[in-house]
Each structure stands twice: as C-alpha cells, then as structure tokens.
Chain A
Amino acid sequence: NAGVMQNPRHLVRRRGQEARLRCSPMKGHSHVYWYRQLPEEGLKFMVYLQKENIIDESGMPKERFSAEFPKEGPSILRIQQVVRGDSAAYFCASSPGSENEQFFGPGTRLTVL
C-alpha cells in the first residue's frame, strides 16, 4: 500500500534553470495538493488539482510557477527560471475526495545555487 510518492527527493538547480517536481498520489486518490515549506516557516498552500483540472491556485506565485495533473501520469510542479528564493521543501499531498484527510509525501528539497 504505497503512500504518496515524490521524486526527485533532492534537486539542485542553478539560477535560471527549470525545476520539475513530480508527485504520484496514493492509489485511489484523485485530488492532489502542493505545499511549500520555507526554512523556519510553516507549510504554505500553493495549488489544488484534480485530474486534468486546476481547482484552486490561489497560493501559486503569479509568474514562473505552474502545475498540472494529467489524465495519465503524475502531477508536475514546474518552476521556470529558478531563483535562490525558490529554495525550499516542496510537499505533495493527496486525498480520495475533497472532504477527506490529506496525506503527504516525503517532499522534494530544491536547492538553487
């Protein structure tokens, strides 16, 4: 019974490069959420997706960040032209429905040099 899977676990990028973070939800879960955890801060909501739809992106920065959850395959959080301030732990969570608990993956730690 695999939990939420994220890869890569660690990602190093130079300023200006692109970062792609992947999330496979738990089996049977069709709702995916992305959160960002900056040092000394709590987790901050970024985006909520269902298959092929973005439901709530109120926490996403307006530029450089995008997310998708295609019909087949994992959810992708994409950060274009990364800057040092993007360095953080990015967590994905999933739930079977909108009313249910969210279960988190192990996170991807992004370091921007």
Chain B
Amino acid sequence: QKEVEQDPGPLSVPEGAIVSLNCTYSNSAFQYFMWYRQYSRKGPELLMYTYSSGNKEDGRFTAQVDKSSKYISLFIRDSQPSDSATYLCAMRGLTGGGNKLTFGTGTQLKVEL
C-alpha cells in the first residue's frame, strides 16, 4: 500500500464548476500538507501549504486537512480552463522526521469551456 493515495483521474468538469480533489494517507507522522499544480512538462508550482488539521483559503482555492481521517482536500471554486493541469498532494513530518516530501501520483484535471 502506498503511503499517499490519490485518484489519477482524469477529471473533466465544465468551466465555473467547483472541483474537489482528494488524497488519503497512512502515515500518522505527516504534519505538513501541500498542494502543487503541475502543467504538462513543467515543474510543480506550490498552491497551498498547511500545518496540521483545519482549513486554509487563498482566492479560489481552499485546502482542508482532516488528520483524524487521514484525508486532505483541495477545492477550486469557479474553475477556469487555465486550471487544467495535474494536481499533486504532498506531505511530510516534522523536521526531526526528515524534510522529504511524499507525493501522491497526481490527479489530472481538465476544465472545459
């Protein structure tokens, strides 16, 4: 079993839709949770960075972390064609446990006109 599970999609939605992307994980040591966006043949771009449980909002993006369920989500409101990309969740433990990020395999999103 992978430490981080993420549905690869592809997920296709109409423009303006609310998108929900999710990851589950098995390692209870994970404390920091991130979402990256990766366009085709480009490097990952950091979207959201959260610590422990709770919600964080930035513009059209909202990240949620539920540590009790080992489940994280990214919501995109008013989705745009420019949001079409692969979304990667990533997580790590506290510094003493190492700085390496553990990634999901990514969910491919397509927002259609």
Residues of A within 8 A of B (CB): 4, 6, 31, 33, 35, 40-45, 48, 55-56, 58-59, 91, 93, 95, 98-99, 101-107, 109
Contact = CB atoms under 8 A, between A and B. Distances in A.
| Size bracket, chain B contacts | 20 to 34
B45 interface: yes
Contacts of A107: 42-43
15 contacts: A33-B100, A35-B103, A40-B105, A41-B105, A42-B88, A42-B106, A44-B103, A45-B101, A48-B98, A56-B100, A59-B100, A91-B44, A93-B101, A103-B46, A107-B43
Interface of B: 4, 6, 34, 36, 41-46, 49, 88, 90, 95, 98-106
A101 B99 contact: no
B100 A101 contact: no
Contacts of B6: 42
Given A101-B49, A104-B43, 18 more contacts: A33-B99, A33-B100, A33-B101, A35-B103, A41-B105, A42-B106, A43-B44, A43-B90, A43-B101, A44-B103, A48-B100, A59-B100, A102-B99, A104-B36, A105-B43, A106-B43, A107-B43, A109-B41
